[in-house]
Structures are given as C-alpha cells and as structure tokens.
C-alpha cells in the first residue's frame, strides 16, 4: 500500500513539474475596442487593430509600450450592429485583423466597412493612388507626426481575417457579408480571384508548404479546402462542427484546430484523413487562439466567460484556466513561445503573460 501511494505521489509530482506556468507581467492600454493583436516573426513588434478608434497601434515587445499610432482619417460608411442585426451609420476605416510579409516590413489590415484591405509599409513611403487611404502617423518615441497614404486593394463586403500564405505570394481575405474569399496577388497587390464559400467565412490558415488553404464557415458546419496551385480551386468541404470561427494549422501540417462559437467546443481534425480526432468543451463563445510552435499547447480566449484556457494538444485536455479582462478577443504568441499577448475588447486593454514550460 505504501508503495502504491509512493507511485501516485511521484506521478503527481511529475505532472506538476511538467505543468505550464502562466503569469501576468504587464497590463497595457490600447485604443477603443482592440479587435486583434499580431506579433511580427522576429518577435520585435506587436500590432493592435483598434476597431472603434480607427487606428493601428504598434508596440515594442521588449519595452512593453506603444511606440507608434497609425490613425485613419474617417469617412462615412454603413456598418452593422451584430446584436440588433441592423445596418447602422459608421466609418469605413475600422481595422479588424492584420498579417505580415517580408519580415514584418508590410502590415496588411482589413477595414471593416471599407470593402478593402490596406498595406502599411513600415518604411512609410507615400502612395499616390486615388484609392489610397490617408493616415496620420504619430511617432511617440521621437514625438513627431506626419501624413501619408496607404495603398488599398478591393475586397468583398465586411472583410475580416487577412492571411498571408507562408510563401508570401498570396493574401486571402474572408468577406463576412458576401460569403466569399478574395485572393490578392501580394506582389502586385491586386485581387485575382473571388472564391465563393458556404456561408460567413471567418478563419483562414494555410498548410506550411503553401499548397492548400483552409477556410472555416462560421455560418455552417465545414471548413473549405482550397488547392492554391490549381488557380485557387475549391476542392471539398470538411465537416468539423457548427459555427467554426477561428482556425490554426499545426506547424507540421498534420492537424487543423478550430474554435466553435455557438457549440462551446475546440476541435482537432486530422488533415490527412479529413476526420475529426476529438472535440472538447471550452466555454461560452470561444474566439481567437494561438498554438506554440512545437504544437504542444493552445491558448484559447473564451469571450463570454472572460477567461483564457490552456489546452494540451496531444491529449486534448484543459490544463489551466485563467481570468482575463472583459471580453478577450485577440491573441498572439512570441516566436520563442515565452510570452502571450491578448486584447480585451470591452476594456481597452492588452494583457501580457510570461509562459514557463
């Protein structure tokens, strides 16, 4: 009996030793309604899309402070109230999501009511195109301001996710209200194709070799598989569960992970067999998430319950739950997997956590 309890004690000790430690190290202010955050591949900068402030903020990851504000000049446009499901008066220049290319030199961001994405070149060259968007850039480190114009590319109605393919040839944009995805030639920065999907496309990710794109249909049960080389041809619909919102493909290309807004679940799908491996209850309205580069952990934001959930991706079990700010919605992880950054939509804040494995 003593030996039995000794073995149990050792097993618990090993489990505890292997447990991930998460500590809140900084609370940062953002603009109004920080919709998303992304960190550049070199780990130097974080960008936050402040939806209601009509502004993109740039942060120093090392110094944990905002260093630049890219503020759009507002123009009137029709928006949408997702609670009342009615059209409302709003502004075109409300940034939603972003992604990067060329080591973070270019930041591509979607404008919610503008039916376009824009390219912020961090070299800050001025675009003279008639469709360019005017912004004021406030350099907080040097206490300077200037006005430039950002190049734009046309999309469908209400663009949300912007995703650059790993080979950086293509930009895919999910258009919420036109039920399609715009494919943009990144070098030319021009749309080359529109891909119709099932209903309400939201999350997009690519296979690591840039052969396939996967688009989750928030208004359905599937993710759409696209053959990029074959003129972005739609291959098939893979059933994964109701109301999928966000998708991340594992770095080895073997699995797709998805959050399902109305079903409260987090799903793992085998991409070779196109079959669901496992789903787990995660909480009410799970939204964005990130995974570590070694594919061991997922960090999932549960919007309605104001919490962060850590999932072991091998066992598909919840390892830890932490309280966040009000309505967490955007998440990013540093390339070294040592810090997690998340935005709180109702609070106008960003929390930075240290990660110890």
Give me the pLDDT at residue 10, please.
42
Has residue 131 got a pLDDT over 70? yes
pLDDT tens for residues 143-186? 999 999 999 999 999 999 999 999 999 999 999 999 999 999 99
Q: To the nearest whole number, what is the mean pLDDT of the chain?
A: 94
For the chain, give every domain's residue range.
24-114+116-154
**Taking CA 289 as the corner, what is the angle to CA 350 and CA 303, rounded to the nearest 5 degrees?**
65
Has residue 11 got a pLDDT over 70? no
Give me the pLDDT at residue 82, please.
87
Contact between 97 and 36 under an 8 Å Cβ cutoff? The reply is: yes
Q: Which tokens in the block code for residue 282?
A: 């995660």
pLDDT tens for residues 13-45? 444 446 899 999 999 999 999 999 999 999 999
pTM of the predicted model as reported, rounded to 2 decimal places: 0.94
Give me the pLDDT at residue 18, please.
61
Closest C-alpha among 174, 62, 175, 164 to residue 119 = 164
For range 326-333, the mean pLDDT:
98
Give me the pLDDT at residue 85, please.
86
CB atoms within 10 A of CB 6: 10
DSSP assignment letter at 325: S
């Amino acid at each position: 009996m003593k030996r039995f309890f000794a073995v149990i004690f050792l097993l618990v000790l090993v489990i505890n030793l292997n447990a991930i430690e998460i500590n809140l190290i900084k609370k940062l202010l953002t603009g109004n309604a920080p919709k998303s955050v992304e960190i550049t591949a070199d780990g130097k900068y974080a960008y936050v899309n402040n939806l209601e402030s009509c502004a993109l903020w740039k942060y120093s990851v090392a110094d944990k402070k905002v260093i630049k504000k890219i503020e759009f000049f507002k123009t009137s446009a029709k928006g949408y109230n997702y609670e009342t499901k009615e059209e409302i008066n709003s502004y075109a220049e409300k940034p939603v999501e972003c992604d990067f290319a060329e080591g973070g030199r270019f930041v591509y961001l979607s404008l919610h009511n503008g039916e376009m994405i824009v390219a912020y070149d961090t070299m800050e060259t001025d675009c003279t195109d008639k469709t360019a968007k005017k912004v004021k850039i406030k350099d907080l480190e040097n206490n300077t301001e200037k006005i430039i114009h950002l190049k734009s590319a046309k999309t469908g109605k209400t663009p949300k996710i912007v995703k650059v393919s790993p080979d950086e040839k293509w930009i895919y944009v999910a258009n919420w209200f036109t039920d399609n995805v715009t494919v943009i030639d990144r070098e030319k920065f021009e749309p080359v194709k529109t891909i119709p999907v099932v209903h309400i496309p939201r999350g997009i990710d690519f296979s690591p070799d840039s052969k396939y794109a996967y688009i989750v249909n928030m208004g359905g049960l599937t993710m759409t598989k696209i053959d990029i080389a074959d003129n972005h041809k739609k291959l098939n619909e893979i059933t994964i569960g109701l109301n999928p919102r966000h998708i991340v493909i594992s770095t080895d290309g073997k699995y797709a992970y998805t959050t399902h807004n109305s079903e409260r679940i987090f799903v793992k799908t085998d991409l070779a067999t196109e079959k669901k491996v496992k789903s787990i209850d995660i909480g009410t309205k799970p939204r964005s998430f990130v995974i570590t580069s070694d594919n061991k952990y997922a960090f999932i934001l549960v919007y309605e319950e104001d919490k962060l959930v850590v999932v072991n991706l091998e066992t598909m079990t919840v390892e830890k739950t932490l309280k966040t700010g009000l309505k967490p919605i955007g998440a990013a992880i540093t390339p070294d997997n040592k810090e997690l950054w998340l935005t709180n939509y109702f609070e106008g804040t960003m929390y930075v956590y240290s990660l110890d494995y």
